[in-house]
Amino acid sequence: MNFSAGIAIGTNLGDRLLNLQHGLSMLIERVQPTAIIAGALYETEPVNCAPGTQAFLNSVIEIEAACTPQELHAHLQAIEQAMGRPAIREQNSPRALDLDVLYAGDFVSDDPQLIVPHPRLHLRRFVLQPLADIRPDLTLPGHSFSIAQHLAALQDDPMEVRLVTKDWMKNG
């Protein structure tokens, strides 16, 4: 059974663009999505990270896949680990690749291992902005507002999320 899943993708270590592209290639190899679209790539300063931490590159991709949300989550964790992210780590530690399931069709879960829709998605401009690039009218299960409405409601400074490129997947 195919479903559409939104995945937040980010990095703040090393060659950030290459990390994202390599992670995406591994995702395509492992999951073999039947469709994939990506929001633009944005740069944001790290929040609650150690001094001197490199800025993040963030985007959102949406894939259509023939696996369960739990299987997708397991693939994402395996890809993160293959890219050097330890399974046990300090919160907000630098990472070569961060992959989070944002939504998976109409699937809803409050399992601590996989909470879907992502519980803080609607509070994070670095997630909402690239998601609004591809799915502004999407309303997630349990939400009353669309992605565009959530984005418009944020009180932070929109300039804190800077557009890098719209076509970052081209060379991935």
Q: Per-residue pLDDT tens for 41-52?
A: 999 988 777 778
CA 3 to chain centre: 17
3-state secondary structure 1-54: CCEEEEEEEEECCCCHHHHHHHHHHHHHHHHCCCEEEECCEEEECCCCCCCCCC
* Residue with tokens 């609650």, as numbered in its chain: 48
Q: Tell me if the bond preceding 141 is cis, omega within 30° of 0.
A: no
Residues 169 and 33 sit within 8 Å (Cβ to Cβ):
no
- For the question of whether the overall pTM of this predicted structure is more than 0.85, the answer is yes
CATH class of 3-165: alpha beta
Q: Per-residue pLDDT tens for 101-115?
A: 999 999 999 999 999
Q: How far apart are the first and last CA of the chain?
A: 27
Checking if the pLDDT of 172 tops 60, the result is no
Residue 138 CA neighbour count, 13 Å, CB half:
25
pLDDT, position 89: 60
- Residue 61, classified by CB atoms within 10 Å of its CB into exposed (0-12), middle (13-18) or buried (19+), is buried
Q: Per-residue pLDDT tens for 86-99?
A: 666 666 667 889 99
Average pLDDT over residues 13-39: 95
Domains of the chain: which residue ranges? 3-165
pLDDT, position 2: 83
Average pLDDT over residues 21-40: 95
- Band the pLDDT of 171: cuts 50, 70, 90: low
